[in-house]
Structure 1
Amino acid sequence: MPEGYLPIFIFLVVATLFPFILLMLARFVRPQLPSLAKLEAYECGIKAASNSRGRYTVRFYIVAILFVVFDVETIFLFPWAVQFKQLGWFGVSEVTVFLAILVVGYIWAFKKGALEWV
């Protein structure tokens, strides 16, 4: 192994072993039999109003998926902003097409009623 890679190898070994060592250490420190009060769901210091396994409407999941999709796609704007001067008008046209696709997707989701809460 070349000398330049030894620190990287040591770092990888330590980074791999560190979580396992901490989990094993936590196993010996934590209490083994928690009380029933500690196992209850905590809601701002009051008793839980309902079962935590209740059903949710599909709209929550649709809004969450739409958020992730649009959030991840807007992350692609960061490299464009960093290289804005080097890309010139070609970059502006490309990001315009990209944003147009995002707006069309947003309008489609809005017309489908995915963003309505009623």
Structure 2
Amino acid sequence: MVDLSQYLPILIFLGIALGLSALFVFLPMGVARLTGAHNPTAEKLSEYECGFPAFEDSRSQFDVRFYLVAILFIIFDLEAAFLFPWAVSLDMTGWPGWITMMVFLGELAVGLAYAWKKGALEWE
């Protein structure tokens, strides 16, 4: 028979986390309704951006190049996050670590060249 008593602290932790999360979400809504702060008007419910009314439909689609540039930014940001620990531990990893990182950087360079060749980085 399996002893599940080891999982009791985890279940207690999850229960407390769920309770606190619900408290932080629903308590301010309840207090606002009880104190009268919940008073929606047309002006309060109108959308705004930087103090100005919205210029276009809020559900307009973005150009796919925006997402490609965002993904490329995330990829190269993660690359920078991997380069620092690699550089610090290069004396311990030696040539195998250096070769592995060069393969990694080469793969990223090939991906960037491909995106560049396809015109993903060109704006009109």
Whether the TM-score (by the shorter chain) exceeds 0.5 is yes
Could you state the TM-score of these two structures normalised by the residue count of structure 2? 0.72
Aligned to 1:66: 72
Q: Using a 3 Å threshold, how does the CA distance of structure 1 residues 14 and 66 change in structure 2: closer, same or farther? A: same
Q: Using a 3 Å threshold, how does the CA distance of structure 1 residues 67 and 37 change in structure 2: closer, same or farther? A: same
Which ranges of structure 2 fall in alignment gaps of 5 or more residues?
none
Query: In 2, Cα distance between the equivalents of 1:17 and 1:79?
Result: 38
Query: In 2, Cα distance between the equivalents of 1:73 and 1:79?
Result: 11
Deviation at 1:35, TM superposition (A): 1.5
Q: Using a 3 Å threshold, how does the CA distance of structure 1 residues 15 and 85 change in structure 2: closer, same or farther? A: farther
Could you state the TM-score of these two structures normalised by the residue count of structure 1? 0.75
Aligned to 1:14: 16
Deviation at 1:61, TM superposition (A): 2.1
Deviation at 1:43, TM superposition (A): 1.7
Aligned to 2:99: 93
Query: In 1, Cα distance between the equivalents of 2:13 and 2:84?
Result: 30
Q: Which amino acid aligns with 1:28?
A: G
Which ranges of structure 1 fall in alignment gaps of 5 or more residues?
none
Aligned to 2:111: 105
State the superposition RMSD in angstroms. 2.6
Deviates more, 1:74-83 or 1:38-47: 74-83
Query: In 1, Cα distance between the equivalents of 2:49 and 2:22?
Result: 31
Select the structure with the greater relative contact order (CA < 8 A; seq sep ≥ 6): 1
Q: Deviations over 1:9-44 (max 9, x none)?
A: 654432232101222212202354522212222222
Identity among equivalent positions (%) equals 46
